[in-house]
Structure 1
């Protein structure tokens, strides 16, 4: 029997939510090469598949609204991105303390976050697959991260991104949200400082 064949065994309802979150996290463990995204049409988001795993929605009217990005931060405070950072460009980075590429890009995120804080840009992290927040807090102190991170060890916030949108599909992933709360771009890899600036500058220039 092929290992790919699924058993059709009934799944108890109480396990449905857990399995959904586990499936989402398993998908995020894949690299960007498995995303399979391309230009969308019709009711889907129309975006340009950029080189190096960065996709951009140039037409503002084609951008999808970002989902509810709220919850508790690593230090236990309540955070609602849409309300707390209304009118700002948000750089939403998905990361884990266990993730080597996340460590590689951390200094770039910190540098650009500090450089663009007076340009109406707010960085927010989404820490995932860290059941205990202690390693993630240590990570933030090590890299002197100046912005908050939601703690989403179970992947529930990630499940809020609509299917067919520029949703995070790898760890690390970065979603760029415009001033109107719409998803303008997504990167499914660790980003360099140059790539962060190149993606942010057109959003900052938008009227």
Structure 2
């Protein structure tokens, strides 16, 4: 069956539109991201500061997050259950990630004695070298899982507080459940807004 020139043109335009949409999604990465309002399905609420939270009884379990770190060791986030875990999705190439890195490094040191652990998820760095240099430059002494193609990020369940931008920061409660998320670069004040309520939980 022959294909008419008009059909071929329409098909080409459709493919071009799909490619443009995919490109737009890529461009939203390494930005301030967006905020998602709560709904009956998601059960989370985004506050005016862009930090979304979930009530204790409505939280979902975090996915299995394990593998090799940027420095070549092995890490399983499940082994940190019983502690509050701050997960930060970052890339060495990302300007907002560089802006927030000193605050993450500072707060991670301050909060360790209160049962708070920080874990990075490094993504879209095709080589570990730039990621290692980033950690050294900003004094990041907590481990980061190496996730160059985003496999770990995609494990977060739909409808949960999943990472949707780079940087994203997600906080797990002591039971390993997803409690809070920010889709933007954070300073120490906003980090405390996410972490302190979970420390106070009984």
- Checking the alignment, whether the CA contact within 8 Å between 1:45 and 1:63 is kept in structure 2 is no
Which ranges in structure 1 are unaligned for 5 or more consecutive residues?
A: 8-21
Rounded to whole Å, the distance in 1 between the matches of 2:165 and 2:171 is: 15
Which ranges in structure 2 are unaligned for 5 or more consecutive residues?
A: 1-9, 17-21
Q: How does 1:2-41 map to 2 (within 5 A)?
A: 5-6=14-15, 26=26, 29=29, 31-34=31-34, 37-41=36-40
Q: How does 1:43-58 map to 2 (within 5 A)?
A: 44-57=41-54
User: Counterpart of 1:52 in 2: which secondary structure?
Assistant: coil
Larger Rg: 2
Q: CA deviation at 1:6?
A: 4.2
Write the deviation string for residues 27-49 of structure 1: whole angstroms up to 9, x where unpaired. Answer: 861744555x22121xx331111
Q: CA deviation at 1:86?
A: 1.7
Q: Cα RMSD over matched residues?
A: 2.2
Moved over 4 A (4+): 1-4, 32-35
Residue-pair matches, total: 187
Pair 1:145 & 2:140 matched: yes
The 1:78/1:33 distance shift into structure 2, 3 A limit, reads closer
Q: How does 1:1-207 map to 2 (within 5 A)?
A: 1=10, 5-6=14-15, 26=26, 29=29, 31-34=31-34, 37-41=36-40, 44-57=41-54, 59-83=55-79, 85-207=80-202
- Checking the alignment, whether the CA contact within 8 Å between 1:63 and 1:183 is kept in structure 2 is yes
**Please, what TM-score do these two structures have when normalized by structure 2?**
0.86
Write the deviation string for residues 130-176 of structure 1: whole angstroms up to 9, x where unpaired. Answer: 01000000000111112000000011001101111100011000000
Rounded to whole Å, the distance in 2 between the matches of 1:190 and 1:178 is: 21
Q: CA deviation at 1:77?
A: 1.1
